[in-house]
Amino acid sequence: MFLTNMLEGMEYEIISGKDVDISNIQYDSRKAERGTLFVCIQGFKNDGHDFIKNAVEKEAAAILCEKEVACDENVTVVKVKDTRVALAKVAANFYQHPSKSLNLIGVTGTNGKTTTTYLLEAILKEEKRKTGIIGTIENKIGDKVLKTERTTPESLELQQLFDEMKKSDVTDVLMEVSSHSLELSRVEGLFFQVGIFTNLTQDHLDFHGTMENYINAKSKLFRMCKYGIVNVDDVYSTKIINSSTCEIKTVGIDSNCDFKAENIKNAPEGVSFSIKIDGKDEFFKLQIPGKFTVYNALGVIVASLSMGISLETIRVALENYSGVAGRIQKVPTNKDFSVIVDYAHTPDGLENVLKSVREFTQNKLITVFGCGGDRDKTKRPIMGNIAGVWSDYCIITSDNPRTENPADIINQVEVGVMDSSCEYEKFTDRREAIKRAIAIAKNGDIVVIAGKGHENYQIFANETIHFDDTEEVKKALAGGTLNETN
């Protein structure tokens, strides 16, 4: 495709060179080759403008930049105001806007995004429609699973994924839309049929700086969709609604709203509730326990209704759905106590899980958890206090320490647990922490292992190792335990 066609709909200035035929787009100079349009992105660590020479040496045909640059006169140089926005637009033009033939459903919020997309997938499969999923755990095209490195891919990879989905006859795409992707223009130019807001709690402040910036980023989705579905029980919902440009439907449990869940019954085997639809009480039940499951289901039900899916199809799909790996995942124990693995890694996420589990805990609730390194430090004592308030016993341990000292992170979490007066222990080794929890669990206890959920790795300063909480639980159940003293 010729460069001028790729730049259609954009403001730009040709600094040097002429219109050229482009065969591919790259923002990593190491992947440049003959015919490449190299887009200079300013990243968190590196600036693509510093790698123009590398791209030219690999015979890139054109450079897209936002700074003044010196370049070989045989290379076309185009300057734009913002190369992140430009990358999204040229990628969409290059792949001929594949998303326009797809029904996009975007889900944003701190917690519940993954479960919401998988519940929607179950309903659409019941409707015999072919779906695509873009999210935290994996990307999917029908039943084909693709690896993912981030919740929402960079705009170039996103357009490539849409193109592959279109060619595979996907009709509906269920997409987790992260605050990073909204702030960094990864979803620039997309239009969503439905946008869903689950909730907002403290997270990613290492990137956004303030909660105001965080909610402003989330709000952008509701200026990019036809219908918006908003959980009005969340304190930030008013901001979402007031800044939206789409038709809004509200859902909730405790507030007045368009679709309110009532008659909620929570049990270890799942949750049931009713919603008044067209003046009639409609009942639903799911195999996933917890109040937060009701919130996720509310958004899903209203989104499905907006797509013309019948209540019966929705009801059957939700009732048969068994859950997402690492989200309130029950690990078989063959013991007289239970073990649950969950991804909860934010204050609100941890509180939601522990409050829900607390409702059906017969004896003690034992919580194993930690906080990630190189991330928002202010939430560490907050999460410690939440764990202490809702648990009978806490075991503080490592999550993904990254470049930080694991013991330092644990000590910061400990401050919050101490304020709660809950008994606790500390283990820098997550494997030993899990073994300890299994060793002390007794009849009627529930052990919640929070923070990593579906992740099968642990990130340290100099290495990333294989680590799966579910696997470690099974190993601990099969044998090794720790002594009673730490």
Confidence (pLDDT) at 110: 85
Confidence (pLDDT) at 126: 97
Cβ contact 181:87 at 8 Å: no
Could you count the other beta carbons within 10 Å of the beta carbon of residue 441? 23
Residue 431 is encoded by which pair of tokens?
């494997």
β-strands 36-39, 446-450: how paired? unpaired
Could you count the other beta carbons within 10 Å of the beta carbon of residue 330? 17
Cβ contact 49:29 at 8 Å: no
Confidence (pLDDT) at 205: 60
pLDDT per residue of the chain (486 residues) written in tens, 0 to 9: 999 999 999 999 999 999 999 999 999 999 999 999 999 998 878 899 999 999 999 999 999 999 988 777 778 999 999 999 999 999 999 999 999 999 999 999 988 899 999 999 999 999 999 999 999 888 999 999 998 877 889 999 999 999 999 999 999 999 999 988 998 989 999 999 999 999 987 655 666 578 888 899 899 999 999 999 999 999 999 999 999 999 999 999 999 999 999 999 988 788 999 999 999 999 999 998 888 899 999 999 999 999 999 999 999 999 999 888 788 888 989 999 999 999 989 898 899 899 989 988 999 999 999 999 999 899 999 999 999 999 999 999 999 999 999 999 999 999 999 999 999 999 999 999 999 999 999 999 999 999 999 899 999 999 999 999 999 999 999 985 444 333
Nearest to 437 by CA among 334, 327, 341: 341
The residue type found at 26 is Q
Cβ contact 295:251 at 8 Å: yes
Return d(Cα 336, Cα 444) in angstroms, integer: 6
Confidence (pLDDT) at 28: 95
Name 126's Cβ contacts closer than 8 Å, sequence gap at least 6: 313, 316, 317
Cα–Cα separations (whole angstroms), residue 409 to 140, 346, 434: 35, 15, 18
Residue 324 is encoded by which pair of tokens?
């997402």
Return d(Cα 53, Cα 60) in angstroms, integer: 10
First to last CA, the chain: 65
